[in-house]
Amino acid sequence: MLYDPFIDDPEHIRAVEGQRFVVLRPNHAITEAHHHLQSVLRERAPGLSISYPAQAHVTLGGFAADTQLSAVQDVVESWSHRVSPLRIAVDRLECFPAPSQILIIRVLKTAELLDALSGLRLEARQKQLTIDTTIPLQDWIFHMSVAYCSDLSDSAWNDVMKLSTELEIPPGSCHVNEIEIVAFDNLREYSGGVYALAQGRQAP
């Protein structure tokens, strides 16, 4: 099966060289809405230094650069057997402030998503792997990034934030039955594996 990468900006790929991420890939309807938002932003904010992720995704965790992929695979393999299919529900458009400056689709924080994130961090810690815990669990915002704007000036970023208040994201939700590992090595993104949640049991 052809791999559909989440990132296609060479500069962004260079910035995450050697890292591994655990992500959820939403269904086609949410992905299309995500692409539509990006298209509108490109049309209404042309010429700005903005990076757009190639595909919508919800990141659950990132491992330290150059962590052995096989070690991450062991963590995810063990953890995924204890996680039921997860629901991604669109909440609203928001912006992460400077210095991040990211336009996001906020995802509804559910107990199941929070438990999954907590379990992933615990599994990584037990296997002595360094996973990003900079943001405490209670403060974590589940989201899908729409546009990375960290290179914009204050005035240009203010214009993007103002524009975001005029944009709309249609309501939508889906259940995800698989988790993906995304790896970046030698300036390319590739799949580190796809794992069924709770043996692929379908959500009701």
Beta strands in the chain (DSSP E): 20-24, 58-63, 86-96, 102-107, 143-148, 173-176, 178-185, 188-196
**So what's the pLDDT on residue 1?**
67
Contacts 24+ apart (CB under 8 A), 196-204: 196/80, 197/80, 197/83, 197/84, 197/85, 197/86, 198/80, 198/81, 198/82, 198/83, 198/84, 198/85, 199/81, 201/84, 201/85, 201/177, 202/85, 202/175, 202/177, 203/84, 203/85, 203/87, 203/175, 203/177
**So what's the pLDDT on residue 204?**
37
**So what's the pLDDT on residue 59?**
98
Does 202 score more than 90 pLDDT? no
Out of 2.30.30.100, 3.40.50.10470, 3.30.70.20, 3.90.1140.10, the CATH code matching 10-190 is 3.90.1140.10
Chain segment 173-195, per-residue pLDDT in tens = 999 999 999 999 999 999 999 99
Chain segment 111-170, per-residue pLDDT in tens = 999 999 999 999 999 999 999 999 999 999 999 999 999 999 999 999 999 999 999 899
**So what's the pLDDT on residue 198?**
84
pTM: 0.93
Closest CA to 23 of 175, 201, 176, 141: 176
Q: If pLDDT is split at 50, 70 and 90, which confidence band does 2 have?
A: confident
